[in-house]
Amino acid sequence: MAQHNELGKLGEQLATDLLIKKGYEIIVRNYVFQKAEIDIIAKHNNLMVCVEVKTRNSDFFGDPQDFVTPSKIKLLVKAMDAFIIENDIDLETRFDIIAVLKNKKKEQLTHYEDAFYHF
């Protein structure tokens, strides 16, 4: 597996652990719908939460969350809609980003709730 894939998987695991610590119930990881993949779908406070995890080993080129593009947001919304319909879920949905900065010297996780409306 390429090094960036391993870093991404590590970031997703760190994000999952953070969410569990915060009381989130993890419903599914790596849900795929057409061209979209949702890293984590969780339930928290009677909300379904779609979580995009962005992991980088440096913030030299910008913060990890800056790499969630409008086209990626569109794909995530479409995939989350499909998940909600497939599973007959009747809850509000929120979209979060967890930015993971991980290298030999640093491990920093930042959880942006309702992220698509704050960027």
Domain of residue 76: give its range.
Answer: 3-117
pLDDT at 111 (0 to 100): 95
Ranges of residues in the chain whose predicted pLDDT is under 70: 1-4, 59-65, 117-119
Helix or strand (DSSP H, E) at 12: helix 3-21
For the stretch 79-111, pLDDT in tens is 999 999 999 999 999 999 999 988 888 889 999
pLDDT at 105 (0 to 100): 86
Q: Number of folded domains in the chain? A: 1
Task: Kindly report the length of the chain.
Answer: 119
pLDDT at 65 (0 to 100): 65
Domain at 58, CATH number: 3.40.1350.10
